[in-house]
Amino acid sequence: MKKRTLYPLLLLLLCGSTTWSARAQNAVQDSGQVAKTLKELCLVCRSVDFKDPQSQQLGVFYKAAKYVVYRGDDKTRSWKDFANYKVEAERKGVDEVCLRINGTVNRDTNFKILRYLIEKESEGTWHILMVSYDKKGVTKQAAFAFLKIGDRFGLGDID
């Protein structure tokens, strides 16, 4: 190979590997942050303090709203904001998420994160954790899909 064609090829490889390295580093950081968010949300959903005046005034899962993506009719907020627990429709959505979590992964305190996936969709980049858990002696799986809003991740879907 001639020197003239070798230099651009080396430059391309070096630039490409730098970009790949940065993306890999972001994926590692994001996956850790997403896993941490899931664990925090699970803890909030299973650890309701019924003596907390806010729980009595707002509702038992009010602390979970900051972890749940808004999915309502307001297109300026949908998939771009977190739920507002003071709004009845949004409160119902947060409560449903917590009940679903309590009926799945919170049944097994030793649930395992199997995989981390990234998928680009119209709503944004989804960060998906594939999780396995035991429910009544049977191993089950669920996918928890998060979107990054600002500098935090929020749960947008459970499959």
CB within 8 A of 105, min separation 6: which ones? 42, 111, 131, 133, 142
pLDDT at 5 over 60: no
What does the DSSP 8-state code read for residue 136? T
Alpha-carbon separation of residue 108 from 47, 99, 155 (angstroms): 14, 14, 19
Q: Sorting pLDDT into bands at 50, 70 and 90, what band is 1?
A: very low
What does the DSSP 8-state code read for residue 51? T
- Token duo for residue 127: 């960060």
Beta bridge partners of 80: none
Matching residue, tokens 């230099």: 7
Task: Give pLDDT tens digits for 120-139.
Answer: 999 999 999 999 999 999 99
Task: Give pLDDT tens digits for 6-34.
Answer: 444 434 444 554 454 445 557 789 999 99
Residue 140 CA to residue 154 CA, distance in Å, equals 23
Residue 10 CA to residue 158 CA, distance in Å, equals 44
